[in-house]
Structure 1
Amino acid sequence: MPDEFLLRPLDTPPAYAAVVDRIRRAMALGVLLPGDRLPAERALAEEMGVSRVTVREALRVLQGEGLLVTKRGSSGTTVSPSLTDWQDPSEYDRKITEAFELRLAVETMAARLAAERVAASDIQRLKECQSALESSSDVHSFRRADSEFHLAVARISANSMLSQVVEDVRAAVSARLEHYDFAVIYESSIRGHGSVIDAITRRDPDAAAAAMAAHIEEARAEVMAVLSDGRTARAKDSEALSAD
């Protein structure tokens, strides 16, 4: 057993793959939105600690997938106005089920710890996240504000490992949110986030954990219902095409 663990081959991806993953993650989390311009190639290379050749190769991959656009004569690269969905629908259904199970475990603990460790500046940050969510006018700005809130709660927990898990699980499934019923998720998220913020502000760990759990459960029910409706619609379209 020790030899099987220690001596198994290493899976070391090329450097450009790490840059691709970083940019994809930024898109999934709403850090980069459709139409946003990426930093210059030189800046990306310097900040990420890689060569410009590595960055150039990563951008080429993302352009090939339709995620980035570089127009001739343009001074930079932008996120595609209509993001290509690089996740297989059936694989996504499985991932999102697992993601909600994991979120229910880790984000409730994040909210509990946040209520115990929150500072005045943290409360202000959460209120700013809520204002951004309430003023979001489309699914893209909503997704950014939603991610900022959940990541902020995780950071306030002051547990770096927990924060990383929250970021990982959101990055794994958030990219397809633009395919959902925006109005449904928007309304419930404002209510849910508000309850969490109220409990954290009162420094009530039990209430914060319960509010986060309730918010995640409601979000799961809504998302799964929308996915189900989408599968039904696709099935009907397929039947119609077959009939033709």
Structure 2
Amino acid sequence: MSLGESERVRVPKAAELVAMRLRKSIVEGELTDGDLLPTEAMLTERYGISRPTLREALRILESEALIEVRRGSRAGAVVRPPKGEVAARYAGFLLEYRGATLSDVFTAAASIESQCVSALAANRTEEDLAALREALARETSAGSMEESLAAQNEFHGLVIQRTGNITMVALAEMVRHVIDRATTKALEREGRSERQSEARHKSDQTHRKLIALLEASDADGASELWERHVRETSRYLEKVLDSQAVLDLFD
């Protein structure tokens, strides 16, 4: 199109502009988890908009899971910062639409998490090691299979968080959430079976070996161990779960 030809530019609706401003306040930390947004009267006056326009803006933020709108005696909009599980659910829709399988997710996780582990081994602190030892202790002392699985998922999450690279952590957490749903589904399906018990025991052993490699700052060894561990988990779930469809995990 040459200059001078008509070009239509979409002007954002007032509700979208208000949602954008409130969203910015949330993601930049000006509004924090649990904060109550000002009243409708205050917000309509602040932004010079009508109540229907404000309510449309709040519906936008609610659909993005950035606020929780309460009704009744405790009515109001409560701030909920961005969460990995929300991103993971939407990613699940996209992955399912594109025909991705759980195996695809594990392949990505093996690559991402092994890099996280390698970086952690190279830069780990005594504080990192202490946090992982405490998480491992919670694993080994878990009384039920459900508690054991929750503790092992916590260990994986902690390994990722301790990497320190914000972008890598965000990507890994999103993928990890999908995997956590898969392991939970597997436990629901099998219960306290011999295969489940063996898998939990082997996972505990791997986590113990990882800590030893991190203590030795063995980046290559830690990366290889973790990639193998993630791929073995994938093979185990292929035997247990009826479906390899990602979206089925979010039913």
TM-score normalised over the length of structure 1: 0.57
Q: Distance in 1 between matches of 2:176 and 2:77?
A: 23
- The aligned residue for residue 195 of structure 1 is 209
Q: Distance in 2 between matches of 1:18 and 1:155?
A: 24
Distance 1:113 1:175, change over 3 A: same
- The aligned residue for residue 167 of structure 2 is 161
- In the TM superposition, what is the alpha-carbon distance from 1:142 to its structure 2 partner? 2.9
- The aligned residue for residue 208 of structure 1 is 222
- In the TM superposition, what is the alpha-carbon distance from 1:162 to its structure 2 partner? 0.8
- The aligned residue for residue 240 of structure 2 is 226
Letter paired with 1:113: A
Matches within 5 A, 1:68-83: none
Larger radius of gyration: 2
* 1:170 equivalenced with 2:176 (yes/no): yes
- The aligned residue for residue 111 of structure 1 is 117
Letter paired with 2:78: A
- The aligned residue for residue 60 of structure 2 is 14
- In the TM superposition, what is the alpha-carbon distance from 1:220 to its structure 2 partner? 1.4
Tell me if the contact between 1:111 and 1:212 (Cα under 8 Å) persists in the aligned partners: yes
1:21-78 CA-to-partner distances (Å, cap 9, x unmatched) read: 99xxxxxxxxxxxxxxxxxx799925x379xxxxxxxxxxxxxxxxxxxxxxxxxxxx
Gaps of 5+ in 1: 1-6, 23-40, 51-86, 232-244
TM-score normalised over the length of structure 2: 0.56
Tell me if the contact between 2:213 and 2:219 (Cα under 8 Å) persists in the aligned partners: yes
Letter paired with 2:236: E
- The aligned residue for residue 217 of structure 1 is 231
Distance 1:224 1:141, change over 3 A: same
Counterpart of 2:64 in 1: which secondary structure? helix
Identical counterparts, % of pairs: 17
- In the TM superposition, what is the alpha-carbon distance from 1:121 to its structure 2 partner? 0.9
Instruction: Report the more deviating stretch, 13-22 or 136-145.
Output: 13-22
Letter paired with 1:172: V
1:155-182 CA-to-partner distances (Å, cap 9, x unmatched) read: 2222111111111002224224233244
Distance 1:105 1:42, change over 3 A: farther
Q: Distance in 1 between matches of 2:75 and 2:158?
A: 29
Tell me if the contact between 1:100 and 1:220 (Cα under 8 Å) persists in the aligned partners: yes
Letter paired with 2:135: C
Matches within 5 A, 1:17-36: 17-19=63-65
Instruction: Give the 4+ runs in structure 1 shifted more than 6 A.
Output: 10-13, 41-44
Count of aligned pairs: 167
Q: Distance in 1 between matches of 2:125 and 2:76?
A: 34
Q: Distance in 1 between matches of 2:156 and 2:77?
A: 26
* 1:141 equivalenced with 2:147 (yes/no): yes
Aligned-CA RMSD value: 3.8
- In the TM superposition, what is the alpha-carbon distance from 1:196 to its structure 2 partner? 1.4
